[in-house]
Amino acid sequence: MVEPEIQVSKLDAARRQLCTAIRLYFHAADAVSIHTLTAAAYELLYDLNKKRGGSPMLVKDWLAVGIKPERLAEFKRFINRAENFFKHADQDPDGLLKFRPVQTEIMLYDACCKYYELTNEALPEIAAFKGWSALTWAKEFVAESFAPDFGERLQKSFSTSNRLSFYRDIMATALSLEERRDG
């Protein structure tokens, strides 16, 4: 049996990649796969954002601010190193990479923010990831004035004992709200 074709836009592809990467992240799945999906979504969103004249993105725009012009290409190779290592073997078929998954979290957070900015679509997966980030690795970076009492409200409403429990709680709440809205 021949599978039917599906039509996929660039934003739809980015959404699917982001949501899958987030699900894998919360299930503590393979870090390389999570990074590869995140990087693919990020590239789509980065390109769409540039074409639309959107605001700069953190990982590939803001981090490059202040880099010496003659070192910019080297910096971009550094930023893209894991993404390219996981996709290509033409230059270094026997290569090894020391990879830090925290860079995926930063890239995933940036992609989630940009997806919302481009689409104004509030996805529960993105809300779950941004919420978990605000309570864990990113809490030291997010200004209290940006979201007053956000972390406190999240901790009161959802289990923060581990990633998967938090994700399941957020997704169950989102499903319940959607059912009430549709019903």
Q: Is residue 101 assigned to a domain?
A: yes
Tell me how crowded residue 23 is: count the other CB atoms within 10 A of its CB. Answer: 17
Tally of domains in the chain: 2
Cβ-contact 22, 104 below 8 angstroms: no
pTM of the model: 0.82
Q: Is residue 2 assigned to a domain?
A: no
Q: Could you tell me the residue range of the domain that residue 47 belongs to? A: 8-121
Give pLDDT, residue 77.
82
Q: Is residue 76 assigned to a domain?
A: yes
Among candidate residues 36, 41, 39, 34, the one with its CA nearest the CA of residue 17? 41
Query: Where does the chain have alpha helices with state H?
Result: 10-26, 31-51, 72-87, 102-119, 124-135, 150-157, 163-182
What tokens does 175 get?
A: 């499903």
Give pLDDT, residue 142.
59
CA dihedral sign of residues 99, 101, 107, 112 = positive
What is the mean pLDDT of each successive set of 10 residues along the chain, which is 183 residues long?
Answer: 92 98 96 97 96 89 76 82 88 89 91 95 91 78 53 59 84 77 66
